[in-house]
Structure 1
Amino acid sequence: MSQVSINVNKKQNFALNVGGGIKNFLRNNMGIIIGLLVLCIVISIANPNFLNSNNILNVLRQTSTNLYLALAMTMIIIIGGIDLSVGSIMAVVGVVTTGLIALFGTPVIIAVAAGLLVGMLIGAVNGYVSATTVIPPFIVTLATMNIARGAAYVISDGKPIRVMSESFNSIGSSYIGGVLPMPVLYLIILLVVCYLIMNKTKLGRYMYAVGGNAEAAKFAGINIKKVKFFAYTFSGLMAAVAGIVLASRMFSGQPTSGTGAELDAIAAVVLGGTSMTGGYGRIGGTVIGALIIGVLSNGLNLMGVSSFWQYIVKGIVILVAVYADIIKKRRAA
């Protein structure tokens, strides 16, 4: 067979794989995609400013921060766990990074690396304790949530740490070609990484196996402790990325940042179809779920709805999504 024929076959196979992937994505997420479109239509009718290009970019920028957390939260929930500490990790990483820059004159790249390391260490503690003890992940991450939030207040003395470094502030506030926000670019890269992990590696398959039946996975030779350790460490890393990007956008490290971020991340994951009992979920569904949360929050803001009511709405959304998942499982059974 000639080299030309081989190249043509490779291109055809690639096109078929891409086409099949898109069809599967649409088939698996048709319900929430329709829900997202209906939500966009309703909000645009209520407030035409919703479709303004600047507002759309703002929605994407805000959603990207939530998606950093939600991508890792998808892995956590698939293995049958939960991570309540991500919002607090955002806060402590933000004040550590900005504090190093503003108070000690640390180069930006070193300060950012230190912030990422802090997030990974907290995630690693969550993973190690959850994997090696009988303490439920809910309790473990609840404890680290309080510890990390307290550390953020102690480090910052309860006050914002202002950063005047242009190179740091450009991390979350600059644009590519004057159009694409940098946080969205980071999101695209992380989406590709997470998709490859979950769909093209043994680690991804192990996560589904652990969440589906941990005992069976153990007898199959899967190292459950390593799988859990990776998932929580990766969650800490993603929370650190979110914290640094948010601090850069606000030009300061805020000890109060990330409050309630875990709620938005969990809402995006369950809306995207990931089962709260573990063993099932898709990155693509999480993306749509996060877009629904982002559009909903933005629409409520445009319509002047109080942020207090937004918490109520998000809580109801989570409750309905989890109930729908339970009903779906019962019907399947």
Structure 2
Amino acid sequence: MPSETASALLDKKPPEDVPPAARGMNPQVRMRLQQLAAFAGLVIITIFFAIAGDNFFTYDNLVNNVLLSSVLIGVLALGTTFVIVTGGIDLSIGWGIALTGMAAGTFLITWDLPLGLGLLMALLVGLVIGLVNGFNVSILGMPPFIATLAMMLVCQGLPLVISDNGATIYTNTQFPPYADLSGGELIPNFPNAVLIFLGLAVIAWVLLNRTVFGRYAVSIGSNEEATELSGINVRKWKLVIYGVAGVFTACAGILSSARIGASPTAGGGMELQAIAAVVIGGTSLAGGKGTIVGSVIGALIIGVLNNGLQIMGVPQEWQYVILGVVILAAVYVDMLRKRSAEVV
């Protein structure tokens, strides 16, 4: 066993004498079916709101409301996909938006740094958040839930500490080039934030599906012990994976502060929506399986739900209830998928 690589452990085919029914469905086929199911769900709820809600199915609403509201959830979901693939969880990503966005506002407005340097330092703040999470999980051996919950509280408090009595830094009006990252239009009538999200999704897809980074993440989530025995430094790669997730969080913080300003309360609670998007898209909470395309679809489903319910005039408190039910349903479906995979 130690002589086998982690990828070989994952790719090993069942013996030829095993009956086809016992081999189970090909994991790639299963993944494609889950993506198709998520896409079908997206189409169904879009059609429902197009019929039930006035002005839902318009270009302005779909692009400037649905897509824009899906961007932050989607970017968080991209980074979270890597963490969940390893069998971990990251609860710090929502308030991480507040901390990295406030950091970007401080660097650009208070410190008056050039745009490029300010963005780089904001990304470094996100990287540090992720690396601290990774250190606590991989080196100190803390449960991911506890480690990232503690970081969530840190990210919730620090923006209030560095802000002026909780005041928002209006980077979106005080620094027009920065605001163009989100609200500008390289393509007429199509916000730059959506283009950046699509670009980040392509990068995430390549990382997960075409690099050693992605293969090791899947291997760790599939069988961490076997991955360790194959000679892979699991602790190091977990640290890297959480660090990458932190960079994606910083990207979301930058896009948020570029659009509405750097608020010390931005992103609070968004971590649950991002995790729900990942699970709805077909990534298993048990680890070992993930899909970037599915996470993008899941983010769009959450965005459509949020916007559609608002247009229909559903009270905010009931929107939370409905979203909670969606999250429960997504987790339950993930449990069913896991049980069916174990049976076959």
Shared fold, TM over 0.5: yes
RMSD of the alignment, in Å? 1.6
Name stretches of at least 5 consecutive residues in structure 1 with no aligned partner: 1-21
Structure 1 Cα separation of the partners of residues 96 and 144 of structure 2? 16
Residues 90-109 of structure 1 mapped to structure 2, 5 A cutoff: 90-109=97-116
CA contact (8 A) 2:34 2:281 kept: no
Residues 126-137 of structure 1 mapped to structure 2, 5 A cutoff: 126-137=133-144
Question: What is the CA distance between 1:107 and its match in structure 2?
Answer: 1.8
Deviation sequence 1:260-295 (CA, Å, 0-9, x none) = 110110010010111111111211111111111110
Question: What is the CA distance between 1:100 and its match in structure 2?
Answer: 2.4
- 1:327 alignment partner AA: L
Q: Match of 2:264?
A: 255
Deviation sequence 1:44-70 (CA, Å, 0-9, x none) = 111141111011102112212211110
CA contact (8 A) 1:65 1:183 kept: no
Range with greater deviation from structure 2 (317-326 or 66-75)? 317-326
1:45 and 2:55 matched: no
Q: Match of 1:81?
A: 88
Q: Match of 2:60?
A: 54
Deviation sequence 1:32-90 (CA, Å, 0-9, x none) = 22211110111011114111101110211221221111011111001010001111111
Question: What is the CA distance between 1:108 and its match in structure 2?
Answer: 2.0
Aligned mate of 1:318, from 279, 304, 327: 327
Question: What is the CA distance between 1:24 and its match in structure 2?
Answer: 8.6
Residues 1-333 of structure 1 mapped to structure 2, 5 A cutoff: 27-58=33-64, 59-156=66-163, 157-163=165-171, 164-250=174-260, 252-332=261-341, 333=343
Question: What is the CA distance between 1:160 and its match in structure 2?
Answer: 0.9
Deviation sequence 1:95-149 (CA, Å, 0-9, x none) = 1211222223222222221111111111111111110122101111111111111
The change in CA–CA distance for 1:255 and 1:183 in structure 2 (over 3 A counts) is same
The change in CA–CA distance for 1:225 and 1:327 in structure 2 (over 3 A counts) is same
Structure 2 Cα separation of the partners of residues 317 and 194 of structure 1? 25
Structure 1 Cα separation of the partners of residues 101 and 254 of structure 2? 5
Structure 1 Cα separation of the partners of residues 207 and 112 of structure 2? 37
- 1:311 alignment partner AA: Y
Name stretches of at least 5 consecutive residues in structure 2 with no aligned partner: 1-27
Structure 1 Cα separation of the partners of residues 290 and 114 of structure 2? 40
Deviation sequence 1:11-31 (CA, Å, 0-9, x none) = xxxxxxxxxxx9997534222
Structure 2 Cα separation of the partners of residues 104 and 329 of structure 1? 50
Question: What is the CA distance between 1:229 and its match in structure 2?
Answer: 1.0
Q: Match of 2:23?
A: none
- Relative CO higher for 1 or 2, CA cutoff 8 Å, sep ≥ 6? 2
Structure 2 Cα separation of the partners of residues 240 and 305 of structure 1? 32
Q: Which runs of 4+ in 1 moved over 4 A?
A: 22-26
Structure 2 Cα separation of the partners of residues 307 and 234 of structure 1? 33
- 2:255 alignment partner AA: V
Count of residues in Structure 1 that have an aligned counterpart in Structure 2: 311
CA contact (8 A) 2:31 2:282 kept: no
- 2:197 alignment partner AA: L
The change in CA–CA distance for 1:49 and 1:318 in structure 2 (over 3 A counts) is same
Structure 1 Cα separation of the partners of residues 34 and 333 of structure 2? 15
Q: Match of 1:6?
A: none
SS at match of 2:284: coil
Structure 1 Cα separation of the partners of residues 120 and 340 of structure 2? 48
- 2:114 alignment partner AA: P
SS at match of 1:234: helix
- 1:186 alignment partner AA: I
Structure 2 Cα separation of the partners of residues 105 and 212 of structure 1? 46
CA contact (8 A) 2:91 2:145 kept: yes
Structure 1 Cα separation of the partners of residues 208 and 103 of structure 2? 31
- 1:158 alignment partner AA: G
Structure 2 Cα separation of the partners of residues 264 and 330 of structure 1? 24
More helix per residue: 1 or 2?
Answer: 1
Q: Match of 2:16?
A: none
- 1:64 alignment partner AA: V
CA contact (8 A) 2:54 2:311 kept: no
SS at match of 1:258: coil
Q: Match of 2:8?
A: none
- 1:162 alignment partner AA: Y
TM-score (ref. length: structure 2):
0.87
